[in-house]
Structure 1
């Protein structure tokens, strides 16, 4: 598969600080690629390098095999959508969308034709004469996308564009963005600190920390097979248990917990007997109750509270100083649990991942 974006060993320094540190990426044509990470991890700096607003200290950026390091922003086949949409309030929707075409000296009749077509594509037919303030937040978001997509860029860079929307609209726009990207076939490079956005919309996700990528993979692989403790803790909810390695056999690690007892999980890498290690297990992979298969790992915890959230309801328990969460079954089969009750939690060892003791 051909690549619309290919970068090798990008570095951007600010004094002694490396905001982007030896980053390489390969984004296939027509894909939705997200860069996920906490504030300050370097993702916005990386996006600025791709857009041409900043230059790398070393490394290379290629868009469709053309080296872009010294190409100015207005000469790159790239457009960018920001969190603050910056629509022109005194221009109509159609004029906002057609602004870039006008700057390119596209004839008025052709501008009108392209604008009407892209309005249809983003689900806003007939709204070209309205002013931005007459539209809902979601509609303004689509106008901002249309303004970029009408220019037919190779890459569309999106800098946390849903951050200013309320929760319900943000959930709606996640689905719409995914559908729009597939409909246009434009390569999207999307940065966010919101794991749900990245997991729902993306074909591949890069998890960034301290200027580097910890892991680049499909969303389901990131979730089920995290490569580092940081990815395990940052992507989705995870329970963590610390202890010492008792043995490694048949791709299974046995761990003596600091709180007592023995549990098992699959190793993320080579581990040695006596080594400190951390086991991560998702709440939905934990089963509740004493009647669990003999092959399961199990621990005894004390119930703190029940957290009702519809189908995602769960319990919070304590094991030593650790808070642990387990998903409640929807059939209510665990009965009426009361705070202070001893609760057995268990899991299939292959559903848990064991790392050398996590420093996250």
Structure 2
């Protein structure tokens, strides 16, 4: 099979009894891509990674790396390396010996090992630490040693299984930027597993959102955020308010929805399958909401809500409110434009209908 992709999968299925942990997955990952698989615990993403690494075999489907079928190739013969959450560095070896371990197993001469180890340490920003013990390093430095140990082997694919999960928040934020930088610097194709949407959105060129063994949507981060294809993606990627109602009318790719409160609002259709009278849900992101006033654009939708709390959130105020028994919150800048708010005060929130997404309650 000829392919331009570093990784190609066709109809992958992995069953455990009657349960399909991976259910008909197909994908193509171009060379040099940072590709993330995002989903909640139990969605099948780690099983998929094990199939790619060769630790498990699919019941159906094929895996190709640079056009070569990998289904029956053992892990140690695949052009793949893997970084685990707990890094698995050897505590009795120096940093240099950890990085050179794979080269030694491949019978690379000692002088060449030392040269390549020094080069990769320079590339990951840890020059001159060959003789240190990894346990003497910080968490971020150990993370880079684990990456260097894989990258020194020049794999076609680097598989990363939630590698930032054990780090504290500040270090995790720092490592997101460093990982993206290193991936671009080395040009290696990364396949990254995470349940953390911020990791996937910040680092990735493409993100596959996984649910129940399938991809709900595969797209660049910006598309996932602005144009979620399913209610699950809309609810899982970023924050969203969800408002229930009935479809009144459809026109110009917009749906008029009568909310359970009786108010009629509008949002952009996620599909063409909705019909008047159908039950629907409108998703609108907190930062897309503004306060309605006399200057509000006439094309905007407006909804009345009761304020429950106003919370300081750095550069923004988080306004928590309620409409027709449903929680609603807005993220508004602290620039003095917001009216003074007290608990139980009534406000009107407005939004551009093009920034809202409307789904049928069955996912249509």
Q: TM-score, normalised by structure 2?
A: 0.97
Aligned length: 359
Give the structure 2 partner of residue 148 of structure 1. 150
> CA shift at 1:330, angstroms?
3.0
- Residue deviations 1:188-237 (CA, integer Å, cap 9, x gap): 00000000000000000000000000000000000000000000000000
3-state SS of the aligned residue for 2:342? coil
Shift of 1:70: 0.6
Aligned-pair distance for 1:358?
A: 5.4
Q: Distance in 2 between matches of 1:231 and 1:42?
A: 16
Q: CA deviation at 1:290?
A: 2.9
Say whether residues 1:348 and 2:352 are aligned partners.
Answer: yes
1:280 to 280, 283, 298: 283
Check whether the contact 1:278–1:358 (CA below 8 A) recurs between aligned residues: no
2:235 to 224, 229, 233: 233
In the alignment, is the contact (CA less than 8 A) between 2:292 and 2:302 conserved in 1? Answer: no
Q: Please say if residues 289 and 334 of structure 1, whose CA atoms lie closer than 8 Å, have aligned partners that are also in contact.
A: no
SS at the partner of 2:339?
coil
Tell me, yes or no, if the aligned pair for 1:41 and 1:211 is still in contact at 8 Å.
yes
Which residue in 2 is equivalent to 1:138? 140
Which residue is 1:51 aligned to?
53
2:320 is the counterpart of 1:316:
yes
SS at match of 1:127: coil
What is the deviation of 1:327?
1.1
Give runs of ≥4 in structure 1 deviating > 3 Å.
none
Q: Greater CA deviation, 51-60 or 256-265?
A: 256-265
- Pick the aligned partner of 1:18 from 16, 20, 26: 20
Residue 332 of structure 1: how far off its partner (Å): 2.4
Q: Which SS does the other structure have where 1:85 is aligned?
A: coil
* Counterpart position of 2:244: 242
Matched, 1:305 2:309: yes
Distance of 1:57 and 1:358 partners within structure 2: 30
Question: What TM-score, normalized by structure 1, do the two folds share?
Answer: 0.98
CA RMSD after TM alignment: 1.0
1:312 positional shift: 3.9
**Distance in 2 between residues matched to 1:299 and 1:30, nearest whole Å:** 46
Q: Does 1:206 align with 2:208?
A: yes
- Which residue in 2 is equivalent to 1:329? 333
Gaps of 5+ in 1: none
- Cα deviation for residue 343 of structure 1 reads 1.2
Structure 1 position 128, deviation (Å): 1.0
